[in-house]
A and B are shown apart, each in its own frame.
Chain A
Amino acid sequence: MKRPALWLLGVPLLVVVMAAPLARAMIAAHATPRLQVPQGWPAPRYDFAGNPVTAAGFALGRRLFYDPILSRDGSVACGSCHQQFAAFAHLDHRVSHGIGGVNGKRNTPGLFNLAWQPDLMWDGSVHHLEMQPVAPMSNPVEMGGSLALAVDKLRRDARYPELFARAFGSPGVDSQRLLRALAQFTGTLVSADSRYDRYVQGREAFTPQEHEGLDLFRQHCAACHREPLFSDFSYRNNGLDAAPRDAGRAVISGRAEDQGRFRVPSLRNVALTAPYMHDGRYETLEQVLDHYAAGIQPSPTLDPLLAHGVPLTAGEREALLAFLDTLSDENFIHDRRFAETHD
């Protein structure tokens, strides 16, 4: 066999160099995220060792997340209420509406950094990331179906059996594969690239006002909204009502002292996830600060840290709001790997 001329080797190299920007764009859109622990963060709670993320598994999870096939009547997908531009919360919805337009009970939380969250939901009722989708799938005011129904629909679908086989290496659609594929998507939704993160890493500077806001945050808010995840994942009553309208954590724990307590939400992407509180009662962060300044309602389960509220001067409010804006992760909400695709 005759050897090809050595110079021919240069041709593919040239093609690669010329196509690099295009290739980068394609990789950004199609690469599979891996769970990487940002510097200074604790170890994740969800262990991907039992559910290794693969390109086909992640793509299947993403497809399922955006597919209303998981609801009883094919009208509601996970992505219907978890919108990427709102950091996977539901913008402008105090509570979300499920199948048949029925309203849910609590505000749709943003979805990010779930792999670090010990329990999920406002009341901590879901104890494992893989089991999370079962709750909305079977809730009559959300997707109104059941896990068994979803598996049955997927088995009879024209495309899913092949996608499941590709994702898990053998034929078969079952609930474990469905839940694990979804966890490959939801568990790799990592938001750790806000201006705050770049500031902490020394890659970006804060304005003096943002600096002041960070100081105020650490002084008044960080006891519960603990860095770097901006939550200590405890359950607290933040004084919304003198007599809680929603028992919250007490429903799960059965303990009276948990009346009106809810999970401390992460403040990452908080400027993107309006409205606020477990029932979505506040439309703006200004209203939230008003509440903490002068709206705290005393009750037996009120968190002691809020007994005297968090009064701030007008200038301090502005600074704190400026800091909270630095928690928005623009790269996360524009990451094409997490966007709905129509492949």
Chain B
Amino acid sequence: MKRKMNLAARRLAAAWLLLLAGCGHGAAQGGLPLRIEISHVVGDAPLQLGDSYKTAAGDVWSAERLRYYLSNFRLRRADGSWFVNPQSADSSRGYFLVDEADAASKQFQIGPLPAGTYSGIEFLVGVDATRNGAGAQTGTLDPARGMFWTWNTGYIFFQFEGHSPQSSDAEHALTWHVGGGTGAPARSVFLQFQSPVEISAENSAELHLHADLARLFDGAHVLHPATQPTAMDAAASAEVADNSAGLFRIDHVHKLPKAGLAAGL
């Protein structure tokens, strides 16, 4: 019996060694994960849920709820090739549900990236069509989180709920839900880095994104709460979807040493 346990212990130790060796090998040829932090702003000021803001046209709006999916991240290398952030079919890894009311959801990591120099980042605001139609999911993609249309099944890519005195809907509600459907894929965003970002085994970076909600109203399309108080299907929300992809900009990128990444700084 004792001999058997020794054998089991030895096997466990061997497995650990292999695992550690594997990690070491990976780190040697690859770099660190990239951290992304998102701040919701209106112009230059932080968004406050419940506060009133004004559009260029003079419409007044406030936000009570802001949630959306970001997925399918990839980074462009200086040589034009791409690093595609891995996503697995049996978990929600790589699918991030950002919620203004949940601070933890606004900071996440992608990668680890291979060491190298990167010039830009691309992602979807929403969920790709394949995963959207892949059946019951878990984690951030758990439909029980409520970011899911049950009347025409699929994820709600982007959800903005608030109020506007100009809204013609009951209680001046403003309800914009963007979702997928035939011919309504998730919108893609590409952001060029102002200067190349270096990722190595010792140094990573934090990408600080600003999502400017003013651009939800004054974006590629000018949206008025009076004429569009609700958008609850793929056709009606097409313009909101376009604008949701225009919210994002890189505020700044800063170097993040390995120790800082590990400590969550």
Binding site for B on A (CB under 8 A): 50-51, 125-131, 134-135, 137-139, 146-148, 151, 174-176, 178-180, 183, 251-254
Contacts and interface: CB of A to CB of B under 8 A. Distances in A.
A10 to B, nearest CB: 40
B36 interface: no
Which of the listed residues B144, B145, B154, B233 has the most CB atoms from chain A within 10 Å of its own CB?
Answer: B144
B152 A252 contact: yes
Question: Considering the complex of A and B, which 6 residue pairs feature the smallest CB-CB distances, nearest first?
Answer: A254-B235, A130-B135, A179-B136, A148-B144, A176-B136, A130-B136
Contact of B143 (A50, A127, A147, A251): A147
Contacts of A127: 133, 153-154
Contact of A128 (B135, B142, B144, B146): B135
A36 to B, nearest CB: 21
A125 B144 contact: no
A219 to B, nearest CB: 33
A50 B134 CA distance: 10
Contact-residue size bin, chain B (C-beta under 8 Å from the other chain): 20 to 34
Query: Which DSSP category, helix, strand, loop or mixed, fits chain A's interface?
Result: helix
B144 A131 contact: no
A146 B146 CA distance: 9
B152 A125 contact: yes
A138 B235 CA distance: 23
Given A125-B151, A127-B154, A175-B136, 16 more contacts: A51-B135, A127-B153, A130-B135, A131-B136, A131-B143, A131-B153, A134-B143, A134-B150, A134-B153, A148-B144, A148-B145, A151-B144, A174-B142, A175-B138, A253-B182, A254-B233
A148 B147 CA distance: 11
Nearest to B180: A127
Nearest to B134: A128
30 contacts: A125-B151, A125-B153, A126-B153, A128-B134, A128-B135, A129-B135, A130-B136, A131-B135, A131-B136, A131-B153, A134-B143, A134-B148, A134-B150, A135-B150, A135-B151, A135-B153, A138-B150, A139-B150, A139-B151, A146-B146, A148-B144, A148-B145, A148-B146, A151-B144, A174-B144, A175-B138, A175-B143, A176-B136, A176-B137, A253-B182
A148 B133 CA distance: 20
Nearest to A177: B136
A134 B182 CA distance: 20
Contacts of B181: 252, 254
Contacts of B135: 50-51, 128-131, 179-180, 183
A178 B144 CA distance: 11
Contacts of B144: 146-148, 151, 174-175
Contacts of A254: 181, 233-235
Contacts of A146: 144, 146
A128 B143 contact: no
A62 to B, nearest CB: 18
Contacts of A174: 138, 142, 144
Contacts of B234: 254
Nearest to A50: B135
A128 B151 contact: no
Interface in B114-160: 133-138, 142-146, 148, 150-154
Interface string B169-195: 000000000000110000000000000
A128 B133 contact: yes
A128 B233 contact: no
A72 to B, nearest CB: 14
A211 B144 CA distance: 51
Contacts of B153: 125-128, 131, 134-135
A50 B142 CA distance: 16
A54 to B, nearest CB: 16
Nearest to A172: B138
A133 to B, nearest CB: 10
B140 to A, nearest CB: 13
B40 to A, nearest CB: 25
B196 to A, nearest CB: 41
Which of the listed residues B136, B144, B234 has the most CB atoms from chain A within 10 Å of its own CB?
Answer: B136
A138 B143 CA distance: 12
Nearest to A137: B150
Contacts of B152: 125, 251-252
Nearest to B89: A50
Nearest to A119: B153
A311 B88 CA distance: 56
Contacts of B138: 174-176
B154 to A, nearest CB: 7
Contacts of B145: 148
Contacts of A126: 153
Nearest to A129: B135
Nearest to B137: A176
Contacts of B134: 128
A180 B138 CA distance: 12
